[in-house]
Amino acid sequence: FGSFNTKRGKTMSYADWMSQLPAELHTIPLFKLAIPGSHDSMSYDLDIDSRIIEPERLRRFSRIYCLRKIIHTWAATQEVCITEQLNAGARYFDLRIARKPNDTNPTRLFFHHGLCTRTDVETVLREINMWAESHPKEIIILSLSHFEGFDKKISRQLHNHLITFMKNLFGNKLLPKTNSPTLKSCWSQGKNIIVSYDNIQFIQPVLWRKITYYYGNSMDRAVITTKLSQALEREKSFNYFFVCGLNPTLPHDTRILRYILRICDNFTNVVRRGLPKLLRWVNQQYDKTPMNIVASDVVTRDDFVATIVKLNLKRAKGR
């Protein structure tokens, strides 16, 4: 595990950090490991030519290019592709699914955050599958949610198509629901992909239920940490995955103008300025309450992954 230290001033890779954890952590539930996660994981790929998906009240203004450009600037929370996020050490991915209106392909799906992505869902899942095959000891958690544009007439068809595609693609790598998964149990079965599906109508043995995502719903760092502290206090006896989301959230009313009218600023810069202090809070809070998945924007910045992974060393020393 010492390879996670810096050498000649360069940060070592976290591409295989799970397999490098101390042996005593191989048999504790994954729910009790500290796992770095990616918030709005596909937002690096937003299509400026896409129709506006959210905020809903702006959809009718989708033809206005400058409005789409502003949304693009403030909705892009990640900077690098999924493979690079995986290589950096992120293991939880927040994947929000959408169908583009009037798409000629009846089952083609994309991701979304404000706008839709350029790349379709199946292409990205194949990319994740390739990475999982070459890193069999790294457990990947995919959280699929939101399902925008799943109109009643086609909703069942779209869900069934997506689930069937994932089952065929991931195959034996999919970990079925179990009460207490550990690194060791996953490795012994050759499983390293967990899919959480936020629609109870379609839950199956290989699909895990929704993972609760706690976040501050504010741009104010003090508000974020206060709300997260309260949520973590409630989770002291947890026995399932949960997410502590460090991500700031833009207001949904006119207060949003304070941010989006900053011509020379963008969301990733706002996050980058606040992330070091949030990570200091994480280190302090971990001594008081348990943490499982800790998710952030710009996951390759400011020692985010290193800070979360090293929380596990605290646990190992405290055993």
* Interatomic CA distance for residues 131 and 29, integer angstroms: 23
Token pair for 10: 């360069």
**Whole-angstrom distance, CA of residue 196 vs CA of residue 65:** 35
From residue 108, how far is each of 45, 99, 112 by CA, in Å? 16, 7, 13
SS3 content of the chain, % helix, strand, coil (to 5): 45, 20, 40
- 39: annotated active-site residue: yes
What does the alpha-carbon distance between residue 181 and residue 173 come to, in Å, rounded to a whole number? 14
Q: Which residue among the candidates 39, 112, 146, 159 is catalytic per the annotation?
A: 39
* 72, 113, 146, 159: the active-site residue: 113
| Cα 224–Cα 237–Cα 296 angle in degrees, nearest 5 | 30
CB atoms within 10 A of CB 188: 9
Burial degree of 203 (CB within 10 A; 0-12, 13-18, 19+): middle
Helices 267-286 and 221-234: crossing angle in degrees, nearest 10, is 40
CA–CA separation, 245 vs 226, rounded Å?
12
Q: Tell me, what DSSP letter sits at residue 251?
A: -
What positions carry a catalytic annotation?
Answer: 39, 113
